[in-house]
Chains A and B, each alone.
Chain A
Amino acid sequence: KQEVTQIPAALSVPEGENLVLNCSFTDSAIYNLQWFRQDPGKGLTSLLLIQSSQREQTSGRLNASLDKSSGRSTLYIAASQPGDSATYLCAVQPTGTASKLTFGTGTRLQVTL
């Protein structure tokens, strides 16, 4: 059974700092891994999708890496801003099954002034 864990559960950093969010999964048989952002009381916004054959994806100040063999992904946020404050979720799609994302427990990020 696929399990996805995110560490840390919560993180507070001052504005301008670079930071790394971690995601680990127990079964490496995945099609891809998605990072989402969830703002309080709002829906999920897809940030980055990394295909299983890829090592990393970049979008603006965000860089996500994937090491499928070790079951790990990181989301790197450069030059953090208060507007980055949100909960970040990673999710994996296992191969060989009908589509069913397995989510991590999330990291709640607060960027302070």
Chain B
Amino acid sequence: DTAVSQTPKYLVTQMGNDKSIKCEQNLGHDTMYWYKQDSKKFLKIMFSYNNKELIINETVPNRFSPKSPDKAHLNLHINSLELGDSAVYFCASSQDLYWTANTEAFFGQGTRLTVV
């Protein structure tokens, strides 16, 4: 009964390929996110979606295209992968888009993407 689940956990692929990472949450939350953790372990938001609508796009290259078929799913598709895309990608969710003081974020286990 994992709250936020991502697949795959590991992904190794060659430069130039297109790949997708899937994320599902069973918490009934309205808002989902993608975060990227770089080689220095710094976590930074990439996208947020609320009820299938894109809210935040943090100057991410347009090779990255999130897709939200319903509010429980937020997938990340990456075109023409580059070496610099190697990182750990985390999916997360929260109840609301605009937080209150007790809004909490829940994270998936991460997908380690390695581009060779």
Binding site for B on A (CB under 8 A): 31-32, 34, 36, 41-46, 49, 51-53, 87, 89, 91, 93, 98-101, 103, 105-106
Contacts and interface: CB of A to CB of B under 8 A. Distances in A.
A109 B1 CA distance: 29
A41 to B, nearest CB: 7
Contacts, number: 73
A15 to B, nearest CB: 24
A105 B42 contact: yes
A44 B99 contact: no
Given A43-B90, A87-B41, A89-B43, A99 B108 contact: no
Interface in B15-47: 31, 33, 35, 40-45
Interface in B57-116: 58, 90, 92, 94, 96-110, 112
A101 B45 contact: yes
A contact patch SS: strand
Interface residues of B, number: 33
Contact of A46 (B31, B99, B106): B106
Given A93-B99, A99-B94, A100-B56, A49 B42 contact: no
A42 B43 contact: no
Give the one of B41, B50, B106, B110 with max A CB within 10 A.
B41
Contacts of B97: 98-99
Interface of B: 31, 33, 35, 40-45, 48, 50, 55-56, 58, 90, 92, 94, 96-110, 112
Contacts of B106: 46
Contacts of A52: 101
B111 to A, nearest CB: 10
Contacts of B107: 36, 43-46
Give the one of B58, B92, B96, B103 with max A CB within 10 A.
B103
Contact of B99 (A32, A42, A43, A106): A32
A26 to B, nearest CB: 16
